[in-house]
Amino acid sequence: MKSFIITLLCLLSISLQAQDKSQRIQEIRQRYADAKSAVAHNGKGGSPAKDMQISINAQLSIEHDIWNEEELFFYFDEHRLIDSDGSFQSCERPYFIIHKAFVHGHEIYAEYLIDPKSNMLMFSYSKSITDSGMSIEHRAYFDRQGQCIQTRHDNEIDDVTGTGEELKQTVGNYLRIFRAAIGEEIASVNIANGATSQLSKPAQMQHIRTQYAVAKDKIAKKTSTFYPYDVTITIHNQEEGDCPPTTDVIHLYGEKKNQDALSDIQCYFASTNRVLMGFTNYNEYLYDPQSTLPIFAYTRSAEEGNQYEWRFYYDSQGQCIESKTDMEDGNDAVVAHQSAQAYRFLFRLIWSLT
């Protein structure tokens, strides 16, 4: 009798687990349908556009003209988080991520359904094309604790649990990039350490102007950039209430010196542009090819027909050696340097995690 009861309890537990799994998968499918509908209506019919697109264009081989093209699409909503003191903090949280890649002539496509409250992966779908032209699809479903409860490889179901760590790590990397792009995650850097450059100020200014011209020629593809690694980020957002929509475009330009080395890639130039109704703000940041620190920052702001400009020149150690502005109160050279460092950090983060 005792063994019969134990067996019965085990069967009941298995039945309940299967029922929970079935209900969870049904919930995920509904959430997936809702997310796809939200993506389709994003920015349409009076709905505010809330998305981020990251485009990566990297040349892998100059001899054979091989490029790696990747795109990341984030669709997000604004959520309110309660701090320990009871105050509210608004933040953007992605609910759906799409990854597209064209690598060595192969297309890769992936979707990730995210719980925006917990930032945990709920479902993933991927499709890739083999060398023979065969299409391979993969699906994975996750419970509320982040454990994979079912995978589907093509049409075959695998009920093994506890897998999916690589998928969760991939999503974690993408979410970290998202936070850095909207300014939530910034590198901790020492901007000025008291060291000074050995070059005279005229020599430093000439060095900055020369490097600026070189960078502009590289961007215009007038000169060789070794192995270019360029990133473009476009963010559409509109906060709650009567806030107008904003569009941010970030360009990050980088290169690596040879085909084999992966550690020498660096960002040599960055630009940002924000459009908010009648207000525009454009920035440029130039990085020293040796120290990789910012050596020049430029800002142009325009509003209601008025335009203002700031220029900051830095030595190779990050010390501001000259500033130029057409306003009585100059912009903060330290803040501009910090912004330049943040975009360099974002570039390195995207390169290392994709």
Query: Which pLDDT value is given to residue 259?
Result: 59
Query: Which pLDDT value is given to residue 186?
Result: 62
236-244, long-range: CB within 8 Å, 24+ apart, which pairs? Answer: 236/43, 236/49, 236/50, 236/51, 236/52, 237/48, 237/49, 237/50, 237/92, 238/48, 238/49, 238/50, 239/78, 239/90, 240/78, 240/90, 244/276, 244/277
Q: Which sequence spans correspond to the domains of the chain?
A: 35-181, 201-353
Kindly list the distances between the CA atom of residue 32 and the CA atoms of 63, 97, 217, in Å, as whole numbers in the listed order.
Answer: 43, 11, 45
Across the chain, the runs of DSSP E, i.e. the strands, are 51-61, 66-82, 88-103, 106-115, 120-129, 135-142, 148-153, 156-158, 227-237, 246-256, 266-276, 279-287, 294-303, 306-314, 320-325
Determine the Cα–Cα distance for residues 268 and 215; give it in Å rounded to an integer: 7
- Residues of the chain with confidence (pLDDT) below 70: 1-19, 60-67, 80-89, 155, 157-163, 186-197, 224-225, 240-241, 257-263, 328-331
Determine the Cα–Cα distance for residues 249 and 52; give it in Å rounded to an integer: 10
Residue 249 phi, psi dihedral angles, 5° rounding: -125, 125
- Is 170 exposed, middle or buried, given 0-12, 13-18 or 19+ CB atoms closer than 10 A? buried
Residue 241 phi, psi dihedral angles, 5° rounding: 85, -145
Query: Which pLDDT value is given to residue 9?
Result: 47
Across 118-265, the runs of DSSP E, i.e. the strands, are 120-129, 135-142, 148-153, 156-158, 227-237, 246-256
Determine the Cα–Cα distance for residues 169 and 53; give it in Å rounded to an integer: 20
**pTM, full prediction:** 0.87
DSSP string, 8-41: HHHHHHHHHHHHHHHHHHHHHHHHHHHHHHHHHT
